[in-house]
Structure 1
Amino acid sequence: MSLGSRIRQLRKERKMTLVDLAGEQITKGMLSLIENDKSKPSMETLNYIAKKLNVSIGYLTQEGDEEWTKNVLENRDFYSSFSFPFEIVEQEVLPNLDKVAQNLKGMELYHVLRIYYRYKKNHSQADSYSQKISNFYRSIGMEHLVVREKLDDAISLMFSQDYTEAFYHLLDSEEEILSFKEYDSRIELDYYYVKGMFAVSVDMETFENVLNWSIKLSYKHENFKYFFTENITLGYYYGLTGNQAQYNICCNNIQNYLKFNRQDRHEIEIIDENNPIPTFYVLVKDKEKHVALYEDYINRMKKVYQNNPDEILGRSFFKAILEVEHTYFKGEYRKVIEMYDDGMYLRTTAQHPVDRILMAIRSCVYPLSLHYSGEKEKAIKAFTKIESTIDDIKDSVFATEFYMIGDIIFEKQNDSH
């Protein structure tokens, strides 16, 4: 939107005539020329118009098209956890970069572009958008957003699955980020949560210590934003490493949390409330019990989606997964083979390393079904293909069950399934 168009739009929004806005300092004719972009106002005139409209000069002179930027960001595909709008970015945004408004909404769109280039592993281009965002916040005196942008920049590296780089990038900004905790206690909690989760790919001792510290901060600030996820992840870790005491603490934390913080999302995140943090997702001991749990889980999910018809992102993703896993636990292996699709467990959006490993583990219902159906060569091939999706994190402790499944498929141990 041009300067003249913005002035005219604001004048009309305030139900002012040309005469009202012109006042005694400029003529109606001069204002008309300015609004039609046929004359550029002096700084003195611009300052006068801004005061009359009760906005800053910076707001009047910002570049780009506010309406276009706002409309682009209203597309729900930008907020999906299951897909990234590559086509929209390439067909609508990149050819119209001059339309990106230089305001807070424009910075949101720049963040989308940064993620796009992280996906493409074009880090120099992504970094240029990080710089644009920081420069904008600094130019309008919002230094706290400049600091928070450093956290967002590190998080953006997750989309290229460069977890180790993201961790050290975050450490480089630690002092500056935490210097703002006096003004914004949330930034401290955000920082330690992100640091702890990224540490999964770097140092498990740091992962454990930082997430436990973050949980203590949750109590201190009475802000339980990450409490659920932290306890689920830590509990899973303790379950895999045999630390039963700490595992029980995390399970109790989740059960107590759900008593006071029940949300719809929890209905689709926990299969068994009596055992909220499972250690095994596929190699379960009691398959009949798991069949019943899945049936209840599927019914709970249906209710959630019925009660929230506008929040359907991910429904098809989860529905397909649940149906194939439910079929597997019923022992209908041939049907699993027919239902399964290679892309079923893969998101185009980046996932945290633990999430990626869990999706790989759960997708093993397919090679296991092939194995139990006697198609052992196909089972090995399918398992190897899944393994390639977690090649960068396959040595993680969280991959324990995955390789236990591999031992079954490669017949390195006996299993009665």
Structure 2
Amino acid sequence: MSLGARIRQLRKERKMTLVDLAGEQITKGMLSLIENDKSKPSMETLNHIAKKLDVSIGYLTQEGDEAWTRWVLDSEDFNSSYSFPFEHVEQEVLPNLDKVSQNVKGMELYHVIRIYYRYKGEHSQADSYSEKISSFYRTMGMEHLVVRDKLNDAISLMYSQDYAEAFNRLVESEEEIVSFKEYDSRIELDYYYVKGIFALSVDMETFEDILNQSIELSYEHENFKYFFSENVILGYYYALIGEQGKYEMCCENIKRYLKFNRQEKYEIEIIDEDNPVPKFYVLVEDREKQAELYEEYINRIQKVYEKDQGKMVGMPFYGPIFALEHAYFEGNYEKVVQMYHDDMYIRTTAQHPIDRILMAIRSCVYPLSLYYMNEKEKARKAFNTIEATIEDIKDSIFTTEFYMIRDIIFER
């Protein structure tokens, strides 16, 4: 959108006439020429117009195509939590970078491009977009968004699974990020949650303290952001290290939380409402009972999915996984082998370390089914294939069940 077109659009949005906007500073005729891009305004004139329209000069003179930028961001491909729009970025965005509007929406699109280059392992390109974003916000006087983007930059490294680099960048920026909490009350909470997630694979000695600090901030701000996932992660951790009391405390926290904050997104997270944090995902003590829980669970979320006309966006991804695991717990190993494919547990969107480990554990219903069908060599080969997907985090405490499954398959 040209400068003149943007001025005209803003004037009409504010229901102002040419005379209203021109005021005493410029003539109606001059303003008409400016709106039709037949005359370029001086800085003094621009300043007058910006003040009358209650926007910044930077907003008026921004480059790019705002309508196109919004169209790209509103695309269905850009709003999936389970896949990344590689094709859309490569075909629609990268060839049209000159159309990216130089405003907040444009910076959102730059963030997507940054993630794209993280996926590709082209970190210098990704970092150049971090610079573009920071430079824009700094120029516009939005220093709090410069700081906020340091968090987004670290999160973008999750897509390339560079957890250590993300953690280090956060630590380096901690003082600056936390110092902005008086301007952005949520930034401190966001910081400690994200830092805790990355500490899982980098600094386990501090992981528990960081997440507990994040929970305290959830109470302090009274919005309980991340409260559900923090208690799930900590509860699972306490179960694995044998801290039964703390494990039960996390389970009770989740139960109480869901009583007053029952959202659809949590329906897909909990199979057994009496035990919202499983100690084991595959090696359960009672498979028959687990099969019954899965059947009830699948029916429950299917009703929610149908009621909300398919708005539970995770169902297309998780539906086949639920069915596969249900078949395993029923002992229908042939069905598991027929239904399974190597990428069904893998998301192209960012997964933090525990997500990846849990998906690897749950996908082990396939090699275990092969093993119970006496296809032992195939089972071991399948297990090795899955193990390769978590090679960088295989020494985590959270892989405990994974290697218990290995010992069964390899008969150790």
Q: Please give the TM-score of this superposition, normalised by the length of structure 2.
A: 0.96
TM superposition shift of 1:28: 4.5
Does the alignment pair 1:137 with 2:137?
Answer: yes
Alignment partner, residue 2 of structure 2: 2
Alignment partner, residue 233 of structure 2: 233
Change over 3 Å in CA distance of 1:310–1:367 after alignment to 2: closer
Unaligned runs of 5+ in 1: 413-417
| Segment of structure 1 superposing worse, 50-59 or 366-375 | 50-59
- CA-to-aligned-CA distance 1:318-368 (integer Å, 9 cap, x gap): 100000100010001011111111111011112011000000010011111
Alignment partner, residue 107 of structure 2: 107
Work out the number of aligned pairs and report it. 412
Does the alignment pair 1:348 with 2:348?
Answer: yes
Q: Is the 8 A contact 1:100 1:106 kept in 2?
A: yes
TM superposition shift of 1:2: 1.2
**Per the alignment, in what secondary structure is the counterpart of residue 275 of structure 1?**
coil
Structure 2 residue identity aligned to 1:126: A
TM superposition shift of 1:147: 1.3
TM superposition shift of 1:72: 0.9
| Segment of structure 1 superposing worse, 9-18 or 231-240 | 9-18
**Alpha-carbon distance in 2 for matches of 1:335, 1:25:** 78
**Alpha-carbon distance in 2 for matches of 1:407, 1:332:** 22
**Alpha-carbon distance in 1 for matches of 2:47, 2:213:** 50
Alignment partner, residue 403 of structure 1: 403
**Per the alignment, in what secondary structure is the counterpart of residue 5 of structure 2?**
helix
TM superposition shift of 1:212: 1.5
| Segment of structure 1 superposing worse, 132-141 or 234-243 | 132-141
**Alpha-carbon distance in 1 for matches of 2:210, 2:14:** 51
TM superposition shift of 1:54: 3.5
Change over 3 Å in CA distance of 1:383–1:324 after alignment to 2: same
Q: Please give the TM-score of this superposition, normalised by the length of structure 1.
A: 0.95
Alignment partner, residue 368 of structure 1: 368
Alignment partner, residue 319 of structure 2: 319
**Alpha-carbon distance in 2 for matches of 1:262, 1:186:** 22
TM superposition shift of 1:51: 3.4
Q: How does 1:126-165 map to 2 (within 5 A)?
A: 126-165=126-165
Does the alignment pair 1:359 with 2:397?
Answer: no
Structure 1 residue identity aligned to 2:240: L
TM superposition shift of 1:87: 0.8
Q: How does 1:22-37 map to 2 (within 5 A)?
A: 22-23=22-23, 25-37=25-37
Alignment partner, residue 287 of structure 2: 287
**Alpha-carbon distance in 1 for matches of 2:215, 2:114:** 30
Structure 2 residue identity aligned to 1:90: E
Q: Is the 8 A contact 2:235 2:246 kept in 1?
A: yes
**Alpha-carbon distance in 2 for matches of 1:317, 1:120:** 23
**Alpha-carbon distance in 2 for matches of 1:318, 1:280:** 19
Does the alignment pair 1:382 with 2:382?
Answer: yes
| Segment of structure 1 superposing worse, 43-52 or 332-341 | 43-52
Q: Is the 8 A contact 1:268 1:300 kept in 2?
A: no
TM superposition shift of 1:149: 1.2
Q: How does 1:155-194 map to 2 (within 5 A)?
A: 155-194=155-194
Q: Is the 8 A contact 2:265 2:312 kept in 1?
A: no
Query: Matched residues, percent identical?
Result: 75
**Alpha-carbon distance in 2 for matches of 1:45, 1:109:** 31
Q: How does 1:33-52 map to 2 (within 5 A)?
A: 33-52=33-52
Structure 1 residue identity aligned to 2:54: N
Q: Is the 8 A contact 1:83 1:347 kept in 2?
A: yes
CA RMSD after TM alignment: 1.6
Alignment partner, residue 62 of structure 2: 62
Structure 2 residue identity aligned to 1:6: R
